[in-house]
Amino acid sequence: MDKNFSYRKATVDDIDDIRALMDLAIIELQKAYLDEDQLNAAHQFMGIDTQLIEDGTYFIILHNQSLEDEKIVGCGGWGKRATLYGGNHTKGRNDQLLDPDHDRARIRAMYCHPDWARRGIGRYIIEISEKAAQDEGFSKMTLGSTLAGLGLYKACGYHVVENEFDETEDGIKIPVFRMEKDF
């Protein structure tokens, strides 16, 4: 990991920057895996979940080019609520708190700036998130992966337990892979 990377918990003041990063990452990093209709529909299922920020479980990754110049190069976190993936606008949200003795915490809303892809940012977010979830008593995790994220998650010890599709009202299907890991 580059020594110039750091992280902090996201705040409501970061929402516009996070949203811009997410939009860019969805279009640029998913285009090798989704067709144009799927890319346009992906925003219906992906995006910012401010509950994660309110819960203090969402992080931004900064590249510190100098003391005065920090750039947000990634974001992501973990969830202690039942929602597996999606933004504030995504149908089927469930804000019920999970029980660490029985439930799996969630890896949530991971995005990387396309210029910084494949430099360890995703793995860094996973490590931070898993540690934070373990500190709150969770011993197992789950996530909903896009095709673009499968390789990273597998490399971090997650395995596919279910392959499903989100479908828009007009019939566009987006593949989602439910993955799990126990500690």
Instruction: Give the number of C-alpha atoms closer than 13 A to the C-alpha of residue 105, restricted to the C-beta side.
Output: 24
SS3 label, residue 51: helix
Q: For residues 105 and 158, give the distance between their C-alpha atoms in angstroms, rounded to a whole number.
A: 13
Query: pLDDT digit of tens for each residue in the chain (183 aa)?
Result: 567 899 999 999 999 999 999 999 999 999 999 999 999 888 788 889 999 999 999 999 999 876 667 889 999 999 999 999 888 888 878 899 999 999 999 999 999 999 999 999 999 999 999 999 999 999 999 999 999 999 999 999 999 999 999 888 889 999 999 999 999
CATH of the domain at 19: 3.40.630.30
What pLDDT shows up at residue 1?
54
Indicate the number of domains in the chain.
Answer: 1
The pLDDT of residue 115 is 94
How many angstroms from the chain centroid is the CA of residue 146? 10
Which residues, 6+ apart, have CB-to-CB distance to 4 below 8 Å? 63, 64, 65
Range list of β-strands (E), 80-172: 105-112, 140-145, 159-167
**Domain membership of residue 77 as a residue range:** 5-182
> Per residue in 66-103, is it b (16+ CB within 10 Å) or e — as a string?
eeeeeebbbbbbbbbbebbbbbeebeebeeeebebeeb
